[in-house]
């Protein structure tokens, strides 16, 4: 990843932060995005990375983050579209329309917005690699109470593969990664301790543990790199056989 310029949405915490750190360790120039400027600035300082505030639910913000990255750093070689929300858990019929829309706007429409401008730039500048972060909850596994999240992440998997077919000939490799339960704040219920979280989740994990975010990040870096040059339009599940 030496001399590569990488844009990561949702890069200030969780899997996105681990992905940013992994790319930095590989020698890339990294730009992270998110909605919270304070958290972004702090994360970027710890990573020795750049940042730009952007809400992926806004098409204008996505256009601006791509322009900022290319103008400030001289290009865009890799994009990792990771920004996402879990939403309010509950049975489908009890979901408010606003809750449904919030999850879809960020998790699905946000990926569409980001890819729209990333692809446009890459088409004009010799190609690139895009990795979209989906989830094993969706196309691979369903969990009661997370219908909106599952629908949005299944759609990210399909959207990634559809776009891959459209832009492979332009030198743009598009893939998805579908992590399982990972040791991040998103896996906690309100007020839950780490021990309580682990006791709730690990019985369904064949490896008896959650993933470390670095394990997911390593997969993202591999998919984005030339080491996976013939992998296009793939949804790579990283969940320790939970959905096998």
Residue 188 annotated as catalytic? no
DSSP letter assigned to residue 233: S
Query: How many Cα atoms within 13 Å fall on the side-chain side of residue 228?
Result: 23
Catalytic residue among 68, 121, 149, 167: 149
**What is d(CA 47, CA 35) in angstroms, rounded to the nearest whole number?**
18
Q: Where are the alpha helices (DSSP H) in the chain?
A: 14-25, 37-47, 59-73, 97-104, 110-124, 147-167, 194-201, 213-224
The angle subtended at Cα 120 by Cα 138 and Cα 68, nearest 5°, is 95
**What is d(CA 73, CA 18) in angstroms, rounded to the nearest whole number?**
21
DSSP run (H or E) holding 6: strand 5-9
Residues carrying an active site annotation: 149
């Amino acid at each position: 990843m030496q001399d590569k310029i990488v844009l990561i949405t949702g890069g200030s915490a969780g899997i996105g932060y681990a992905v940013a750190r992994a790319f930095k360790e590989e020698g890339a120039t990294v730009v992270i995005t998110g909605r919270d400027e304070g958290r972004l600035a702090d994360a970027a300082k710890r990573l020795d990375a750049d940042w730009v505030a952007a809400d992926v639910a806004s098409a204008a913000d996505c256009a601006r983050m791509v322009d900022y990255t290319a103008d400030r750093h001289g290009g865009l070689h890799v994009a990792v579209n990771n920004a996402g929300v879990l939403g309010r858990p509950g049975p489908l019929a009890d979901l408010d329309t606003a809750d449904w829309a919030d999850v879809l706007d960020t998790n699905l429409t946000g990926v569409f917005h980001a890819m729209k401008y990333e692809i446009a730039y890459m088409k004009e500048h010799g190609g690139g690699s895009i990795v979209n972060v989906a989830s094993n909850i969706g196309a691979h596994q369903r969990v009661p109470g997370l219908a909106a999240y599952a629908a949005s992440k299944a759609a990210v998997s399909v959207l990634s593969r559809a776009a891959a077919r459209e832009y492979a000939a332009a030198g743009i490799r598009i893939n998805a990664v579908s992590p399982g339960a990972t040791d991040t704040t998103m896996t906690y219920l309100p007020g839950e301790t780490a021990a309580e979280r682990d006791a709730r989740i690990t019985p369904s994990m064949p490896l008896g543990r959650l993933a470390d975010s670095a394990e997911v990040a390593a997969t993202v870096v591999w998919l984005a790199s030339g080491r996976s040059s013939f992998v296009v339009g793939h949804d790579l599940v990283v969940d320790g056989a939970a959905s096998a």
